Each structure stands twice: as C-alpha cells, then as structure tokens.
Amino acid sequence: MMDIFFQDPTAIPLPPDEVRIKDFQAGPRPDNRRIRIYLEITPFQKRPNGEITIYSPQGEDVASASIVETITPKMELTMHLRGEVTPGEYSISAIIFYLENTEQVEGAGDDIEQRKRIVVDHASQTFQILT
C-alpha cells in the first residue's frame, strides 16, 4: 500500500527508473555562508534518496546533505559552508537514487553502506559568492 500523498491530484507517480529532477536551484544568502537550495523531482511511487554536494572554487567539498526516502517531491533547504568562505564560482551537484533491494543482496540486510546505489538522475549548477 502506498502512503505517499501529493498536493497535485493530476500528478501521476512514476516508477523508480522514471523519476527525474525537474528543477534544481542554488544561491547564497546575504551572509554568503548559507546556501539556499531548491530541488524538485517528479512524483514517485517509491521514496527516493538523494545527495547534494557543494564544491568551492578550488574543487573542495565544502558542504553536503543526504536526503533519505523523501516523502515530498519539492524540497527546500539551507546548507552551511564549512571553513573559510572565499569569493568565486562554486558548483553544486545533486543525485537522486534508490538502493537495491535487500533481498537481492545476500547478507546485506539493513546495512545501507553495503547496498548498491541505483542513480536515476543528477543535476549540477554553479553560483557566485562575491566579497
């Protein structure tokens, strides 16, 4: 039985392999340390997982967030940059994925680290942080 509810009654939930990112936006808040994120995916039959990572102008991972079995296709969050914030072009990436069924992996059980990710979509953006 499906226990996922959507605001739009005309939206048709899609099977895992058809779930896609519809919109992905990112931009700094006035303090340049917090980054506003908006991620929207297509309606889904099975709750997807996700990961968002922000990279500095030097290519270092300066923030990351995990999304675990979201119940909503529209997500807004604020990510905080680690370390010293330097001006320049930052990049951000998002992936949407499912974990393979535990029945398919003998001995994996509920250990998420041992379960293979099945990536269904990804997106990336850049944004500027000024001085």
What pLDDT was estimated at residue 11?
Answer: 84
pLDDT band, very low/low/confident/very high, at 105 (cuts 50, 70, 90): very low
Whether 130 has a pLDDT exceeding 90, the answer reads: yes
Would residue 82 count as lying in a domain? yes
Single pTM value for the model: 0.85
Per-residue pLDDT of 14-49, as tens digits, reads 999 999 999 999 999 999 999 999 999 999 999 999
Give the Cα separation of 100 and 128 in Å (integer).
37
- What's the CATH code of the domain at 94? 2.60.40.2550
Give the residue numbers spanning the domain of 55. Answer: 19-129
Number of domains in the chain: 1
DSSP, collapsed to helix, strand or coil, labels residue 106 as coil
User: Residue 94's closest CA among 73, 124, 67?
Assistant: 124
pLDDT per position as a tens digit, 79-92:
999 999 999 999 99
Give the C-alpha separation, 108 to 42, whole Å.
29
Please check the confidence at residue 122 and state whether its pLDDT lies above 80: yes
